[in-house]
Amino acid sequence: MPFLIKDNKGFVEAIIDPSCGIEKFFMATEILENEFEISYIEKNDSLDTSYWDFEFNDSRITIHYNIYTGISLFSSKFHAASTFDNELVAMIGQQLYDSLEKPFKGS
């Protein structure tokens, strides 16, 4: 599945993987910690959904996982997100997607 950016909600949402397991979500969160040197400031988990917030370049971003919709990133400000916030989500989303796909290329 190619990387996808949605902006039909009034803010940018980077779709990292629309159908994956929780293992890939944890891989994604580790990549963010290691490559972007972030720390999670809030984690909300339920049986089928996780919302983990972090700050990067003065923007608060959420990585979201759901068993039905996979992994996505979006600004925690939703509709109040600035152009900078949305561009940052797209940039981080693309890099995260690329990092997650590396182990699977050439297989």
Hey, how many other C-beta atoms are within 10 angstroms of the C-beta on 49?
13
Residues with Cβ within 8 Å of 91's Cβ and at least 6 positions away in sequence, in order, are: none
CA distance 107 to 7: 32
List all residues 6 or more positions away from 83 whose beta carbon is below 8 Å from its beta carbon. none
- The pTM for the full model equals 0.91
The CATH number of whichever domain residue 53 belongs to comes to 3.30.160.690
Phi-psi sector, 10: left (phi>0), alpha (psi -120 to 50), beta: left
Number of domains observed in the structure of the chain: 1
Please list the pLDDT of the chain residue by residue as tens digits (107 residues): 678 899 977 899 999 999 999 999 999 999 999 999 999 999 999 999 999 999 999 999 999 999 999 999 999 999 999 999 999 999 999 999 999 987 655 44
* pLDDT at residue number 105: 52
- Residue spans of alpha helices (H) in 15-107: 22-35, 83-101
Write out the residue range of the structural domain in which residue 82 sits.
4-104
Q: Which amino acid type is present at position 101?
A: E
